Amino acid sequence: MNSSEHVIDIEFEDRPQLGFEIMKVFEKHSIDKSNLEVVHRKNSMSMVIRFHCPSKLEIGRIKKEFLEIRNVLSVGFRDYMPSEEKERRLQIILNSVSEGIIAIDKNGIVLHMNDMARRIFSRSHHESIDLPAETIFPPESPIFETLKSGRSFSYMEQRIRTDAIDTHFFISCRPVRDPKGTIVGVVATIKDYGQAEEITSKVNRKKELVTFDSIIHQSHIMKQVIETAKIVSKGTSSILLRGESGTGKELFAKAIHMESNRNKHPFIAINCGALPDSLLESELFGYEPGAFTGASRSGKKGLFEQAHAGTIFLDEIGEISRQMQVRLLRVVQEQTIRRVGGEKDIPIDVRIIAATNRNLEDMMKQGLFRDDLYYRLNVIPLTIPPLRERKEDIRIIAQQLIRKICLKLGKPEKFLAKESVELLLSYHYPGNVRQLENMLELVINLEQADEIQPSHLMDKLYMQPPSAYGKDDVVASEIKIPIPIDGNWPPLKEIVREVERQIIHHIMKTAPSSRKIGNILGVSNTAILKKIKKFNETRKDTKGQGGSSEHETH
């Protein structure tokens, strides 16, 4: 409602001609009316009118004239028309529920979408009303079957993948009928897949179900790795997952297990690098009663026994000692284990998936990793590419992580500004997806804005210590300022210009556009272009005077 628009509430006891007299006041002052509603109260009635009047003085006059009309009891002002207040109350109620709600009419046009539905489908208010449902749902969605036949659906799983986002949800649909039984629309409730998983985990603490559909991607390189992983999942051979820290090796291990014929049996994971030898041995192989001080009187099954007929995932396999390598080799070769303090061999049927971010080949040359164990584990090698080699995935991974983090923190979903996406694409991620997730969680905790801007991300991306950076990143030690022998320093602005030139030169190796360089340094691409032009002009002048330049700016 703009500043010249007002809503007046005139309470009265009804009598003939009263309405006519009220309208005459508006006509007398040439005031335009845009809406009128009559409200019946217990002992009186109200006429609520929206009108346009820019003059406060004029409003005071007409209020006084209304009060002078016989049978008018009171005159006041309100913010909304009665029907609008009902709509607002309904909106508040619908927006307070934890599920998405979407209503469409008989023509398939969206009439209403609550806040949760907009978050799930990553749409603004203007992008969610009065548009065809086909722009939101795929043709095979049950919402169209309900509109056509009146058939109801409950918790149908759907997944919508686009270049910008991956939306995974459950949908329930109910037809809306008029008094004659004709279908006049559909109401659908939407539950985000992550919400459903969270509810399921609270009710039933069984193993987490992770499939290859859980691995968000659209890059060709990840599609190839996943297709290979799906094929080898069906076998029983050992698999060695290679990849940098944070690439999702455990996620792959779980997905391989779920795709295999062992998926009805346990999946057990252990981080071999997190435990000392003595504890790792008892965890993996179990122990007999009284095997050592503090041991349980009934003994304990090890993880290999617990994983019988299923899969065991040995993460950070490169961290185990030579002694543990010998014991593990025996398990892999003979498919039997012997508990700590035990004398008999126990047969097991377990598929082994191991993972490492270390160079096992170099470790073998140094005598740190046994050749025979390496070849037993490396029957099927799978290398998971780092995030910097699959930049097509960064946008959809980031938005999916934002949704998951906002849900976890109980905050409204945030969205990435276009410039923020460009900044994320320009970074190299030494910590891969884990680093991206941690950085986004930090931003969501600290920032209140609905849209994540480059300024929110900049210091979070570049807060790692120098050792975490790639070889092409600029660190302070790489900036070289010549120290004059005679003590005659150049002007400060020339020193600053040289520092800027060296920094921009280094960043251009990994961010080959002025816009990306500007995003990284927090300035406009125009400013970067001007600096590059100035650097080049200075270089030409120096060469023309017989000088030379150690670095060239491209």
Is residue 469 assigned to a domain?
A: no
> Are 126 and 176 part of one and the same domain?
yes
Instruction: Write 127-133 long-range contacts (CB < 8 A, 24+).
Output: 132/108, 133/102, 133/104, 133/108, 133/109
Label residue 466 by pLDDT band (50, 70, 90).
very low
Could you give the number of structural domains in the chain? 5
Output the pLDDT for position 475: 45
CATH number where 405 lies: 1.10.8.60
> Are 352 and 234 part of one and the same domain?
yes
CATH number where 338 lies: 3.40.50.300
pLDDT of residue 346 exceeding 80, the answer is: yes
Kind of pairing, strands 380-383 and 286-287? unpaired
> Are 495 and 365 part of one and the same domain?
no
> Are 310 and 411 part of one and the same domain?
no
> Are 362 and 267 part of one and the same domain?
yes
Is residue 551 assigned to a domain?
A: no
Q: Where are the beta strands (DSSP E) in 226-331?
A: 239-242, 267-271, 286-287, 300-301, 311-315
Domain boundary among 21, 52, 83: 83
pLDDT of residue 95 exceeding 50, the answer is: yes
- Does the pTM of the predicted model rise above 0.95? no
Domain boundary among 464, 490, 512: 464
Are 485 and 509 in contact, with CB atoms under 8 Å apart?
no
Per-residue pLDDT tens digits for 191-249: 876 655 454 444 343 445 789 988 989 999 999 999 999 999 999 999 999 999 999 99
Per-residue pLDDT tens digits for 28-48: 888 888 889 898 888 889 999
> Are 366 and 403 part of one and the same domain?
no
In the sheet that holds 183-192, the strands lie side by side as 110-113, 100-105, 183-192, 166-177, 153-161
Is residue 256 assigned to a domain?
A: yes
Is residue 89 assigned to a domain?
A: no
> Are 366 and 242 part of one and the same domain?
yes
> In which domain, by residue range, is 483 found?
476-544
**Average pLDDT score over the chain:** 83
Coil, strand, or helix at residue 464? Answer: coil
Domain boundary among 326, 360, 382: 382
Q: Which of 300-304, 417-421, 457-461, 469-473 has the lowest mean pLDDT?
A: 469-473
Phi, psi of 406 (to 5 degrees): -60, -40
> Are 250 and 364 part of one and the same domain?
yes
Is residue 191 assigned to a domain?
A: yes
State which H helix or E strand residue 8 sits in. Answer: strand 5-12
Is residue 554 assigned to a domain?
A: no
Is residue 205 assigned to a domain?
A: no
Identify any residues that bridge with 177 across adjacent strands, giving them in sequence order. 183
Output the pLDDT for position 473: 44
> Are 69 and 106 part of one and the same domain?
no
pLDDT of residue 554 exceeding 60, the answer is: no
> Are 318 and 242 part of one and the same domain?
yes
> Are 176 and 133 part of one and the same domain?
yes
Is residue 112 assigned to a domain?
A: yes
> Are 109 and 242 part of one and the same domain?
no
